[in-house]
Amino acid sequence: MRVASFRVRMVLAYLGLLTAILALVVVGVLAPDTRHAGATVLVVLVAGGAASAAVGAWVVRSVSRPLRMLTEGAKRLEHGDWGHRVALEGPDELGGLARAFNRMADCLADRVAQLRHQAHHDSLTGLPNRTRFHDLLDEAIAVARREDTRLGVLLLDLDGFKEINDTLGHDMGDLLLRELGPKLAGAVRDADTIARVGGDEFAVLLRGVADLSDCANVAERISRALQGAFRVAGHALDVNGSVGIALFPGDGEDGTTLLRRADLAMYAAKRSATGVAVYSTEMGRHSSRRLTLVADLRQAIESEALALHYQPKLDLATGRLTDVEALLRWKDPQHGCVPPEEFVPIAEQTGFATPLTLWALRHAFARHARWQEAGIDLGVAVNIPASVIQDRRFPQQVADLLATSRAAPGALVLEIPESAIMADPGVAADVLARLQALGIRLSLDDFGIGRSALPCLSELPVSELKIGRSFVVKMLADRGTAVIVQSMIDLGHNLGLLVTAEGVETEAVCDALTRFGCDQAQGDYVSPPRAAPDLERWIEAAAALPAAGRVPTP
C-alpha cells in the first residue's frame, strides 16, 4: 500500500496547490474589493477541497483495488491454488504488474506439476515409484474391501542385475532399466499398475483378479517380456527375472503385508529357479531362517568357521585319482550343518559370493601347497559362482592369492557354471582368458543344464567339460538320457576337452561311462566328500590296494 499512499499524497498536494492558485486568481479577478476577498477565498477553498477529496477517492480506488487483487492472488498461490490468475488489464504499471504476476503463476504451476510427477515417478523408467505404488495399493485395497473383490501383488526381481552393475558400471545398468521399463509396462493389463520400487525390483498391482490364475498369467507375460538378450550400448545383456505373487485378502489385508509376502515368494522363485512362486505360510518360516543365516554367514566368513571337504575324481582308463574338488561345508552352532545348496544362493543374493569364493580359494590353494610338499600329487578344483565370473576384478584377486600360496597354477582348476557364460558371454570370455593366462585350468561345470553355452563353447578357454549329475543319475533308466550323455562325451572329445561325469553313485553307471569313453568319474561310488585329514588316510589305504582294485576304498 506504500505505492498507493505515495501516489495519493502527490495527487492531493498537487490539487491543493492548484486550489490555492485558483483562489488567488479568483480573488484578483472576481473580487478586487478586499471587503469580499475572504468570503471568496473560503468558497474557492471549500470547492477545491471537495474536488480534491473526490479525485483522491478515485485515485485510492484505482490504485488500492488492483493492489488488493494482487495481494489476494499471492495469498491464494501461497495456499496452493495454482490455477488462480489476477483479472486485471490495463496499459499502466499495475496492469503490467498483473500480467507479470500471471506469468509467474503459470511458471509456478508448471514447476509444481513437474515436482509432483517427479515425486511419484521413477526418473529412469518413467514408471510410478515406491511412494506412488504404496498410495495406489492402499486405495485399491480400500475399494476391494468395500466391494468384496480380490487383488494381486507381484514383485519382480531381475536376476544378474548386480553383476551387470559391478562389471559394466552403473551407467550400463541405468540404460538397461530404461530399456526394460516400456517392455514391462506393455506386459501388464490396462487396469494394472507396474512400478519400480527399488534398484532392480518392480511391483505390479493387479486389480479385480478372479483367482491366482489371473496373477500367474500376468507373471508369465512379464517373464516372456524379459526373454532374449537386450542390446544396450553395444552389449548383449541376458536378463531373467523371478516373480513372487501374493493375493488380497488371503495373504494379507494391508499393503505392507502383501508386499512383504510377495517378496518372500519372489525369493522362493529365485531359489528354486522356477521363475514364479506363490506365497505360502511355509515361506514365512523359511524367511526367518534365511535372515538369521545371512547374518551368521557373514560372521562365519570373517571368523573362519567354514570348512572345505574334498571329493576325488577317478581316471576311468587307469583307475588313478587325478584331482579333488573342494566343496564348502558350514557347521553352524545354531543351525547345525547348513547344506551348500542353501547358503551358496544366499551368498549370491546378498553380495557375499565373492568373499565366500576368495575364502574357498585361499584355503584350497594352501591345502594344495601342503600336499605338494608332502608328495601328494593331486590337482584341486574349486567351484566359482556365476556372479563372480562376471566380475572383471576377479582374475587379479586370484593372481594375488597365487602369489602368496605357493600353489602350482597348473594343478588348480576353476569350475565355471554354464550360467556364468550365458549371463554375458563377452565379459565371461574376457575373465576366463585372463584366468587361463595365470596358468590355471578351467572347467565348464553342469554342462547341458539350463541355457546352453554350446554356441560359444569352441571359443571358451576351457580344458574340461563336466556332465551334470541330473543326466548321469538317469542315464541307465532312460535311453534318451544315455544318448545325450554319449553325445556330450563325443562333443567334448571332438573339441579336445577332458570329459568328467559327476553324480556317479553305482558301479553300473561307472561301467557305462567307461564304455561311452568318458575320461573321469566323480561321485559317492568313487568317494564321498572328505575332510582333508580323512582324505589323506583314504589315499594311503588306496595305495595299499592291489593294482586290480579299480576304485580305492579304505
Q: Is-same-fold flag (130-279; 289-543)?
A: no
Cell numbers given for 269: 522363485
Q: Which amino acid is at 547?
A: A
- Could you tell me the pTM of the whole model? 0.57
Three-state secondary structure call for residue 258: helix
Determine the longest span between alpha carbons in the chain, in angstroms: 160
What's the CATH architecture for 289-543? Alpha-Beta Barrel (3.20)
Cα-Cα end-to-end distance for the chain: 106
Each residue's pLDDT tens digit, 239-264: 778 899 999 988 888 988 898 888 88
Q: The C-alpha cell of 110 is what?
A: 508448471
What are the cell numbers at 492? 567334448
DSSP state of 128: B
In terms of Cβ atoms closer than 10 Å to its own Cβ (0-12, 13-18, 19+), residue 233 is exposed
Q: Where are the domains of the chain?
A: 2-117, 130-279, 289-543
Q: Any bridge partners for residue 379, and if so which?
A: 323
Residue 366: the pLDDT is 93
**pLDDT less than 70: residues of the chain:** 1-70, 72-120, 163, 166-167, 228-229, 273, 282, 284-291, 422-423, 449-456, 543-554
Q: What is the pLDDT of residue 364?
A: 95
Q: Which amino acid is at 28?
A: G
How far is residue 515's CA from residue 143's CA, in Å, rounded to a whole number?
68
pLDDT tens profile 293-325: 777 888 888 777 799 999 999 999 988 888 999
Task: Give the model's pLDDT for residue 353.
Answer: 87
Query: How far, in Å, CA of 70 to CA of 133, rounded?
Result: 39
Cell of 280: 505360502
Domain 130-279 belongs to what topology? Alpha-Beta Plaits (3.30.70)
Alpha-carbon gap, residue 145 to 167, rounded angstroms: 46
Phi and psi at residue 204, to the nearest 5°: -125, 130
